[in-house]
A and B are shown apart, each in its own frame.
Chain A
Amino acid sequence: MWANLSLLSDLQLFPVAASAQAGSIDGLYWWLTIVSGVMTFLIFLFIVIFAWKYQRKPGVKATQIEGSTKLELTWSILPFFVMLSFFWWGAKIYYAAQNPPKNAMEVFVTGKQWMWKIQYPDGSREINALHVPVGQPVKLTMASEDVIHSFSIPAFRVRHDVVPGHYDTIWFTATKAGHYHLFCTEYCGNEHANMIGWVDAMEPREYANWASGGGGGGDLVTQGQQLFQQNGCSTCHLLDSQGRCPNLRGLYNHPVQLADGRTVLADDAYIRESILDPNAKITAGFEPNIMPVFKGQLSEENVIQLIAYIKSLSPTTPASQQGERLQRPVVLAPQGKNGAIKTGASPIVPAQR
Chain B
Amino acid sequence: MATIAPIHGTPELSERRVNYLNVEHGWKSWLFTTDHKRIAILYLISITLMFFVGGLMAVLFRINLLEPEGIFAPETYNRLFSAHGIIMVFFFLVPSIPATLANFLIPIMVGAKDLAFPRVNLLSWYIYVVGALLTLYAVIRGGVDTGWTFYAPYSSTYSNSYVLAAAFGVFTAGFSSILTGLNFIVTVHKMRAPGMTWSRLPLFVWSNYATGLIQVLGTPVLAITLLLLAFERIAHVGIFDPNIGGDPILFQHLFWFYSHPAVYIMILPGMGVISEIVSCFSHKRVFGYNFVAFSSMAIAVLSFVVWGHHMFITGESMYTSLAFSFLSFMVAVPSAIKVFNWTATMYKGSISFDTPMLYAFGFIGLFTIGGLTGLYLAALGTDVATHGTYFIVAHFHYVMVGGMVMAFVGGLHFWWPKMTGRMYPEAWAKFAALIIFLGFNLTFFPQFILGYLGMPRRYHAYPPEFQALNVLSSAGASILGVGYVIPMIYFLWSLKYGKRAGMNPYDARGLEWTIPSPPTTFNFDTTPVVTQEAYDYGELEEVVG
- Assuming the contacts A7-B471, A93-B384, A148-B154, asked whether A55 and B313 have C-beta atoms less than 8 A apart, the reply is no
Contact with B along A169-194 (1 / 0, CB 8 A): 00000000000010111111111111
For chain B, residues 349 to 365, give those with C-beta under 8 angstroms from any C-beta of chain A: 349-353, 361, 364-365
Contact of A86 with B by CB under 8 A? yes
Which of the listed residues B151, B385, B467, B543 has the most CB atoms from chain A within 10 Å of its own CB?
Answer: B385
Q: Contact between B349 and A91 (Cβ–Cβ < 8 Å)?
A: no
- Complex Cα–Cα for A51 and B288 (A): 19
- Smallest CB gap from A166: residue in B: B315
Which of these binds chain B: A41-49, A251-259, A305-313, A319-327?
A41-49
Q: Contact between B453 and A56 (Cβ–Cβ < 8 Å)?
A: no
- Complex Cα–Cα for A155 and B454 (A): 8
CB distance from B475 to the nearest CB of A (A): 10
Q: Contact between A63 and B245 (Cβ–Cβ < 8 Å)?
A: no
Which of the listed residues B146, B341, B454 has the most CB atoms from chain A within 10 Å of its own CB?
Answer: B454
- Assuming the contacts A1-B66, A51-B351, A75-B337, asked whether A94 and B454 have C-beta atoms less than 8 A apart, the reply is no
Q: Contact between B537 and A62 (Cβ–Cβ < 8 Å)?
A: yes
| Chain A residues with CB below 8 A from B336, complex form | 75-76, 79
- Complex Cα–Cα for A92 and B322 (A): 10
| Chain B residues with CB below 8 A from A63, complex form | 284, 348-349, 541-542
Q: Contact between A164 and B388 (Cβ–Cβ < 8 Å)?
A: no
Contact of A68 with B by CB under 8 A? yes
Which of these binds chain B: A12-20, A102-110, A125-133?
A12-20
- Complex Cα–Cα for A194 and B78 (A): 13
CB distance from B367 to the nearest CB of A (A): 10
CB distance from A337 to the nearest CB of B (A): 27
For chain B, residues 310 to 349, give those with C-beta under 8 angstroms from any C-beta of chain A: 312-315, 318, 321-322, 325-326, 329-330, 332-334, 336-337, 339-341, 343-344, 346-349
CB distance from B376 to the nearest CB of A (A): 5
CB distance from B541 to the nearest CB of A (A): 5
| Chain B residues with CB below 8 A from A194, complex form | 74, 461
- Complex Cα–Cα for A142 and B79 (A): 28
Contact of B1 with A by CB under 8 A? no
- Smallest CB gap from A52: residue in B: B351
Contact of A260 with B by CB under 8 A? no
Contact of A290 with B by CB under 8 A? no
- Complex Cα–Cα for A24 and B248 (A): 31
| Chain B residues with CB below 8 A from A13, complex form | 449, 453
Contact of B387 with A by CB under 8 A? yes
CB distance from B256 to the nearest CB of A (A): 14
Contact with A along B278-319 (1 / 0, CB 8 A): 000011110111110000000000000000000011110010
Q: Contact between B539 and A64 (Cβ–Cβ < 8 Å)?
A: yes
- Smallest CB gap from B318: residue in A: A98
For chain A, residues 318 to 352, give those with C-beta under 8 angstroms from any C-beta of chain B: none
Q: Contact between B380 and A91 (Cβ–Cβ < 8 Å)?
A: yes
Q: Contact between B349 and A54 (Cβ–Cβ < 8 Å)?
A: yes
Contact of A72 with B by CB under 8 A? yes
Contact of A122 with B by CB under 8 A? no
Interface residue from B243, B376, B449, B457 paired with A29 (Cβ < 8 Å): B376
Q: Interface size on B (CB < 8 Å)?
A: 106
Contact of B379 with A by CB under 8 A? yes
For chain A, residues 51 to 76, give those with C-beta under 8 angstroms from any C-beta of chain B: 51, 54-57, 60-68, 70-72, 75-76
Contact with A along B357-398 (1 / 0, CB 8 A): 000010011001100110110111111110111000000000
Q: Contact between B145 and A92 (Cβ–Cβ < 8 Å)?
A: no
| Chain A residues with CB below 8 A from B540, complex form | 64-66
Q: Contact between B321 and A94 (Cβ–Cβ < 8 Å)?
A: yes
Q: Contact between B151 and A187 (Cβ–Cβ < 8 Å)?
A: yes
Contact of B538 with A by CB under 8 A? yes
CB distance from B165 to the nearest CB of A (A): 19
Contact of B426 with A by CB under 8 A? no
| Chain B residues with CB below 8 A from A190, complex form | 74-75, 78, 145
| Chain A residues with CB below 8 A from B350, complex form | 54-57, 60-62
- Complex Cα–Cα for A158 and B245 (A): 28
| Chain B residues with CB below 8 A from A32, complex form | 372, 375-376, 379, 382
CB distance from B236 to the nearest CB of A (A): 14
- Assuming the contacts A4-B467, A51-B351, A185-B456, asked whether A93 and B381 have C-beta atoms less than 8 A apart, the reply is yes
Q: Contact between A67 and B288 (Cβ–Cβ < 8 Å)?
A: yes
Q: Contact between A152 and B537 (Cβ–Cβ < 8 Å)?
A: no
Q: Contact between A54 and B379 (Cβ–Cβ < 8 Å)?
A: no
| Chain A residues with CB below 8 A from B539, complex form | 64
- Complex Cα–Cα for A192 and B314 (A): 17
Q: Contact between A67 and B290 (Cβ–Cβ < 8 Å)?
A: yes
Q: How large is the interface on A (under 10, 10 to 19, 20 to 34, 35 or more residues)?
A: 35 or more
| Chain B residues with CB below 8 A from A35, complex form | 372
- Complex Cα–Cα for A158 and B449 (A): 17
- Complex Cα–Cα for A97 and B314 (A): 13
CB distance from A76 to the nearest CB of B (A): 5
- Assuming the contacts A62-B282, A64-B284, A189-B154, asked whether A83 and B382 have C-beta atoms less than 8 A apart, the reply is no
| Chain B residues with CB below 8 A from A245, complex form | none
For chain B, residues 214 to 270, give those with C-beta under 8 angstroms from any C-beta of chain A: 242-243, 245-249
- Complex Cα–Cα for A217 and B321 (A): 41
Contact of A267 with B by CB under 8 A? no
- Complex Cα–Cα for A158 and B462 (A): 19
- Smallest CB gap from A165: residue in B: B242
- Complex Cα–Cα for A211 and B329 (A): 46
Q: Contact between B468 and A7 (Cβ–Cβ < 8 Å)?
A: yes
Contact with B along A255-296 (1 / 0, CB 8 A): 000000000000000000000010010000000000000010
Q: Contact between A94 and B468 (Cβ–Cβ < 8 Å)?
A: no
Q: Contact between A62 and B284 (Cβ–Cβ < 8 Å)?
A: yes
| Chain A residues with CB below 8 A from B78, complex form | 187, 189-190, 192
| Chain B residues with CB below 8 A from A150, complex form | 313, 387-388
Q: Contact between B351 and A92 (Cβ–Cβ < 8 Å)?
A: no
Q: Contact between B337 and A76 (Cβ–Cβ < 8 Å)?
A: yes
Interface residue from B154, B283, B467 paired with A56 (Cβ < 8 Å): B283
CB distance from A31 to the nearest CB of B (A): 9
Q: Contact between A36 and B288 (Cβ–Cβ < 8 Å)?
A: no
A-B contact list, 27 entries, CB within 8 Å: A7-B471, A29-B452, A32-B376, A44-B365, A47-B364, A57-B350, A63-B284, A64-B538, A64-B540, A64-B541, A65-B543, A67-B290, A72-B340, A75-B337, A87-B378, A90-B379, A91-B325, A93-B384, A94-B322, A148-B314, A152-B454, A164-B242, A165-B246, A184-B456, A189-B158, A192-B458, A353-B158
Q: What are the 10 tightest A-B residue pairs by CB atom distance, in nearest-first order?
A: A154-B454, A93-B381, A185-B388, A90-B379, A165-B242, A67-B288, A94-B380, A90-B380, A193-B459, A50-B346
B-binding residues in A (CB < 8 A)? 1, 4, 7-8, 10-15, 24-25, 28-29, 32, 35-36, 39-40, 43-44, 46-47, 50-51, 54-57, 60-68, 70-72, 75-76, 79-80, 83-84, 86-87, 89-95, 97-98, 113, 146-148, 150, 152, 154-155, 157-161, 163-166, 168, 181, 183-194, 196, 277, 280, 295, 353
Beyond contacts A14-B449, A36-B369, A55-B350: 13 other A-B pairs, Cβ-Cβ < 8 A, are A7-B468, A25-B381, A28-B381, A29-B382, A43-B365, A61-B283, A80-B329, A90-B379, A147-B151, A150-B388, A155-B454, A188-B154, A194-B461
